[in-house]
Amino acid sequence: MNIQVRPTDQAPEGATHPGARPKLSFQAKRRGKAPTHLADFDLSGRKAALKEAGLPAFRADQLSRHFFTHLNVSPEQMSDLPAGSREKICGLLLPKLTEQSAAISADDGRTVKHLWQLFDGAQVESVLMRYPSRTTLCVSSQAGCGMACPFCATGQMGLTRNLSTGEIIDQVRRAARAARDGKLAGGPTRLTNVVFMGMGEPLANYKTVVGALHRLIDPAPEGFGLSARNVTVSTVGLVPAIKKLAQEGMPVTLAVSLHAPDDNLRDDLIPINSRWKVGELLDAAYSYFQTTGRRVSIEYALIKNMNDHAWRAQLLADELNARGRGWAHVNPIPLNPTPGSIWTASSKKDQQVFVDTLRRNGVATTIRDTRGSDIDGACGQLATAVQKKMKER
């Protein structure tokens, strides 16, 4: 018998009262802008900013190499800049954007989660994870999130504000530096991958995120020079923005947080589905693959008796195969067990049936490793926990 648990069977995760309902929002309350930072501009923009301040434009090259190659923001270590103008140059283009307010490590020191305080007190988090063949950073693109997914603590915080490109990129610089300096168990390593799966819906902060993608991919002195295929942008399904991203000429990996193949369930599970339906979303994802040649990741959190039925695995396979073969890779993600909540893990048997059904239909499927499960794994949970503790003080 198919038991069907609905997302509306209890108040959203992190809700402050039992009658709370998810509320979509695209517009943040007006707040001040983050201080201007070198990473907000491309190289010519940095040159123009220096020139405007009466400083030689060619210093932009040196400053950019300090930031993107040496991961350094301390004027005293910039001996190639004249001592007399170092402070002025750094003050102009390298303001401090992130202050560490908490750090927790897990997985025997191979995972570190940071909570950063921004200039206006807003807090965001990033997670650095070491795997045998890569080191990945999960970054935040917004403080809070307006997408209101009922299983996600960040969604209940609402959207505080969009991050600036500098604020996103400074999370990356700090992580690259921590990896280089051996702050993860296993000794010094290189940051190889960046995924936009932290707080926020990246495509709701489109222009800023595209700027950040350039800084990640463009070679020094423009940016860090990461491989585009090692950068992943995840979305709950902002269809027009997916279409736009396909035209940017940056073949980054697109990850679609689908979590349900039918509108009936997805309307309640991912509220943005009320605007763009599963069919439109998969069409946009397929055309992203056609334009960029990059296989699309389909993220699917397996939630007990909610979306883990074998018929849903079959429907998902049919929807993907109806558009083409080999263009998508499904990543089922077993949810961390939350006893007593509707958001709890599927049984091992149901997980296996789900995966087998997809594979039998020729769909590439890999169960995803959920890192940091012992340190508040899901996006937004650390920030919520810290805020709670602060309120309790």
Q: Which residues bind ligand SF4 (CB under 6 A)?
A: 145, 147-149, 152, 154-155, 199-201, 236, 379-380
From the DSSP assignment, how many helices (H) and strands (E) are in the chain? 12, 12
Collect all residues with Cβ–Cβ distance below 8 Å to 352 and sequence separation of at least 6.
none
Q: How many other β-carbons are positioned within 10 Å of the β-carbon of residue 44?
A: 11
Collect all residues with Cβ–Cβ distance below 8 Å to 34 and sequence separation of at least 6.
97, 118, 119, 120, 163, 164, 166, 167
Q: Is 70 annotated as a binding residue?
A: no
Q: Is 201 annotated as a binding residue?
A: yes
> In the complex, what is the shortest distance from the CB of residue 212 to ligand SF4, in angstroms, rounded to a whole number?
17
How remote is the C-alpha of 54 from its chain's centroid?
A: 38
User: Is the Cβ of residue 20 or residue 48 nearer to ligand SF4 in the bound state?
Assistant: 20
DSSP summary character for residue 250: -
Catalytic member of 13, 125, 167, 319: 125
Q: φ, ψ for residue 379 (rounded to 5)?
A: -60, 140
Report yes or no: 140 and 163 within 8 Å, Cβ to Cβ. Answer: yes
CA distance 330 to 350: 16
> In the complex, what is the shortest distance from the CB of residue 366 to ligand SF4, in angstroms, rounded to a whole number?
20
Q: Is 259 annotated as a binding residue?
A: yes
Q: Is 200 annotated as a binding residue?
A: yes
How remote is the C-alpha of 233 from its chain's centroid?
A: 7
User: Is the Cβ of residue 166 or residue 200 nearer to ligand SF4 in the bound state?
Assistant: 200
CA distance 127 to 139: 7
User: Is the Cβ of residue 12 or residue 75 nearer to ligand SF4 in the bound state?
Assistant: 12
> In the complex, what is the shortest distance from the CB of residue 202 to ligand SF4, in angstroms, rounded to a whole number?
9
Please name the residue that has the structure tokens 């039992």. Answer: 18
Collect all residues with Cβ–Cβ distance below 8 Å to 349 and sequence separation of at least 6.
none
Q: Is 2 annotated as a binding residue?
A: no
Q: Which residue is nearest to ligand SF4 (CB)?
A: 155
Q: Known catalytic residue: 392?
A: no
User: Is the Cβ of residue 94 or residue 342 nearer to ligand SF4 in the bound state?
Assistant: 342
User: Is the Cβ of residue 55 or residue 345 nearer to ligand SF4 in the bound state?
Assistant: 345
Q: Is 203 annotated as a binding residue?
A: no
User: Is the Cβ of residue 49 or residue 203 nearer to ligand SF4 in the bound state?
Assistant: 203
Q: Is 90 annotated as a binding residue?
A: no
> DSSP string spanning 335-384?
PPP-TTSSS-BPPHHHHHHHHHHHHHTT-EE-PPP-TTTTS--STTHHHH
> In the complex, what is the shortest distance from the CB of residue 269 to ligand SF4, in angstroms, rounded to a whole number?
10
Closest CA to 167 of 123, 197, 229: 123
> In the complex, what is the shortest distance from the CB of residue 271 to ligand SF4, in angstroms, rounded to a whole number?
8
> In the complex, what is the shortest distance from the CB of residue 133 to ligand SF4, in angstroms, rounded to a whole number?
27
User: Is the Cβ of residue 75 or residue 380 nearer to ligand SF4 in the bound state?
Assistant: 380
Q: Known catalytic residue: 90?
A: no
CA distance 65 to 67: 5
Q: Is 17 annotated as a binding residue?
A: no
Catalytic member of 138, 167, 299, 379: 379
According to DSSP, the residues that pair with 193 across neighbouring strands are 136
CA distance 255 to 236: 9
Q: Is 257 annotated as a binding residue?
A: yes
CA distance 40 to 212: 8
Alpha-helical segments (H) within 250-293: 263-269, 278-292
> In the complex, what is the shortest distance from the CB of residue 125 to ligand SF4, in angstroms, rounded to a whole number?
11
Mind telling me the catalytic residues? 125, 379
Would you list which residues are annotated within the binding site? Answer: 145, 149, 152, 200-201, 234, 257-259, 336
Would you list which residues are annotated within the binding site for S-adenosyl-L-methionine? Answer: 200-201, 234, 257-259, 336
